[in-house]
Structure 1
């Protein structure tokens, strides 16, 4: 809940600041253009997936990175559709290969730490019956 309130605060603050600087007409145009861009990315999502699959085939990225990057591209397109400047900025950033790869590697490191932490809690026991 705290993250959602933080998001709302940041979104409101950024949107008010940018909208007051560029005016209502340009704000409206930006909302329409970003929504159209988001729908365009969603319609062409299959091509982005193919690009990521070729990167996996060339061993440039791992399968886990492929999954994460695919999800980030999809999330970025959805964020572009949602009105607001902060979400649009995040949506645009997630469309870049390097940014998505950066987030994917960070998430994968967190998952690996959780796995290792979970493995430390496991006690291996062998029961021998006579």
Structure 2
């Protein structure tokens, strides 16, 4: 409850200060513009979800990134729709963090190479393949 009151008071103070500097019409334009961007993100959420499911199925995306992309994208869209400067700022920051995550994941290798340093080498194990035509082994 205290966090909600802290958020509410800070939202009112920040929005009032920005509105006094920008003016009423510019503040209205900012609220409408950010709500429009939030609605566009929500309308495209279904397509984004389908693409993320396909990447998860192809193992190009892990479960943590899947949750992060979808839930944080939905949260940022809702924050952009809500009126206020603080919520818009938080929504834009979340979108930029998602964008930076997508850029980093784009250039990161899809499948990490096998690194012998990650697996301890055991000299007592002999790798072999046994090929036999015996029907007893089939």
TM interval, short-chain normalised: 0.5 to 0.7
Pairing 1:32–2:43 present: no
Q: For the residues of structure 1 that align with 2:10 and 2:51, how far apart are their CA atoms? A: 33
Residues 34-55 of structure 1: per-residue CA shift (max 9 Å, x gap):
1111111100012332454465
Q: Any gaps of 5 or more consecutive residues in structure 1?
A: 102-130
Mark the runs of 5 or more structure 2 residues left unpaired by the alignment: 102-138
TM-score under structure 1 normalisation? 0.66
Judged with a 3 Å threshold, the aligned counterparts in structure 2 of structure 1 residues 30 and 16 are, in CA distance, closer, same or farther, namely same
Alignment-derived partner of residue 122 in structure 1? none
1:12 corresponds to? 12
Tell me how many residue pairs correspond in the alignment: 101
User: Does residue 94 in structure 1 map to residue 97 in structure 2?
Assistant: no
Q: 1:92 Cα deviation (Å)?
A: 1.4
Runs ≥4 residues deviating over 3 A = 50-61, 97-101
Larger Rg: 2
Give CA deviations for 1:58-104 in whole Å, capped at 9, x if unaligned.
Answer: 76642023113211110110111111011011111112244785xxx
CA distance 1:8–1:32, shift in 2 (3 Å): same
Q: Provide the aligned C-alpha RMSD in A.
A: 2.3
> Which of the pair is proportionally richer in helix?
1
Compute the TM-score of the two structures, normalised by the length of structure 2: 0.62
